[in-house]
Structure 1
């Protein structure tokens, strides 16, 4: 039963990562397994936590390849309902994150870091994505050494962003103009492009997890206030607007229900 639950959690994280503007890290925080994942993904702890990580990873892969198309389709037909449900998830997780941040005596500099993270997410949310260069492989002029190096760097940065709750790795790739190329490479199983993409993912995971784990160990309050700012600020990125209609009121109801569910999940010990 525990393996099935972890598979479902992984699928939810995978779906979140596949949608620009939505963060898999946020989903991990909502499910109250963010810290557990960070501690499990290390050479020292990997073997001991394989039974947790394997179903989680399989679920994430299933979520990305099997379920994300359904979610993307819903984004096109019922964007307001889906986004309000996700806003509910975020709102429901905030009290638990704040509680973790206040486990120690409040330091003003840590609160300021949280405010900066919140402001950063507002800035990201108001960027005009229609004006962001997001070229296809043909637009880049085909495969070149420069493209491979840029893919490696952009994917590494996006992977680090993906680890942080609140920031979407897909959105970061979109901002750096490689989202279309990466999606093409995955869809067409382009092995030549998959090499720099794979190396970028691996580098981002190693660097990102190492930095975050050190912060969790030595500066936990600073990390949790940053996470709180990123997660709360992500609401601005996913807010779809509101229309006074049947779907509008249904969306509000969905937000309340999902906020309640997220609060139950994130407050679990």
Structure 2
């Protein structure tokens, strides 16, 4: 039963990572497994946590390949409803994150870091409001060494963003203009482009996890206030606007339901 639960959690994280504006890290925080993942992914702890990480990883891959197309389709057909549900997930997880941030005596500088993180997300959401050029592989003129190098660098940066709750890895790829190319490569299993994509993911995971684990060990309150700012700020990046209509009222209902669901999941130990 535990394996099935971890597989489902992994699928939810995978789906979140495939959607621009939604963060897989945020989903891990909502599911209350973010700390556990960060702790388990190390040479020292990997072996004894394989039964947790394997179904999680399989679920994440399954979510990206099998279910993300459905979610993206819903995002195109019912963007307000789907995004309001995601906003509800964010709202519901905030009390749990704040509680972790206040486990220790409050240090004003950590609160400032949270405000800076919030401001960063507001800046990202501002960029996302404009038209972002997202070229397909054909628009780039086909595969080239320069394109592969740029894909590697952009995917590495996006992977680091993916690990941080609140920042969407897909949104970062969108902002850097490679989202369409990466989605094309994954959908068609383009082996040539999968090499720089795979290497970018590996480098991003190694760097990102190493930094976050050090923060969890030596500066946990600073990290949680940063996470709080990033997660709260992600609402501005995914807010689709609101219209008074049946779908609008359904969206508000979805927000309330998913906020309660996230609150229940994130408050579980």
- Give the TM-score category using the shorter length: over 0.9
In the TM superposition, structure 1's runs of 4+ consecutive aligned residues that sit over 6 Å from their partners are: none
Q: Secondary structure at the match of 1:134?
A: coil
Q: Could you say which residue in structure 2 is the equivalent of 1:96?
A: 96
CA contact (8 A) 1:93 1:266 kept: yes
Aligned-residue RMSD, C-alpha: 1.1
Please list every run of 5 or more consecutive structure 1 residues that lacks an aligned counterpart in the other structure: none
- 1:179 partnered with 2:185: no
- Equivalent pairs counted in the alignment come to 269
Q: Secondary structure at the match of 1:126?
A: helix
CA distance in structure 1 between the partners assigned to 2:256 and 2:250 by the alignment: 10
Q: Could you say which residue in structure 2 is the equivalent of 1:239?
A: 239
Q: Could you say which residue in structure 2 is the equivalent of 1:223?
A: 223
* Deviations 1:228-262 (CA, angstroms, capped at 9, x unpaired): 00000000111111111222111111111111111
**Residue 162 and residue 232 in structure 1: after superposition, are their counterparts in 2 closer, same or farther (change >3 A)?**
same
CA distance in structure 2 between the partners assigned to 1:232 and 1:120 by the alignment: 11
CA distance in structure 2 between the partners assigned to 1:81 and 1:2 by the alignment: 31
Q: Could you say which residue in structure 1 is the equivalent of 2:116?
A: 116
Note the C-alpha offset of 1:131. 2.7
CA distance in structure 2 between the partners assigned to 1:79 and 1:141 by the alignment: 32
Q: Could you say which residue in structure 1 is the equivalent of 2:2?
A: 2
CA contact (8 A) 2:128 2:175 kept: no
CA contact (8 A) 1:129 1:175 kept: no
Q: Could you say which residue in structure 1 is the equivalent of 2:264?
A: 264
Q: Could you say which residue in structure 2 is the equivalent of 1:167?
A: 167
CA distance in structure 2 between the partners assigned to 1:77 and 1:180 by the alignment: 19
* TM-score computed with the length of structure 1 as normaliser: 0.97
CA distance in structure 2 between the partners assigned to 1:122 and 1:13 by the alignment: 23
CA distance in structure 1 between the partners assigned to 2:76 and 2:197 by the alignment: 28
CA distance in structure 2 between the partners assigned to 1:34 and 1:204 by the alignment: 17
Please list every run of 5 or more consecutive structure 2 residues that lacks an aligned counterpart in the other structure: none
Note the C-alpha offset of 1:135. 1.5
Note the C-alpha offset of 1:130. 5.3
Q: Could you say which residue in structure 1 is the equivalent of 2:68?
A: 68
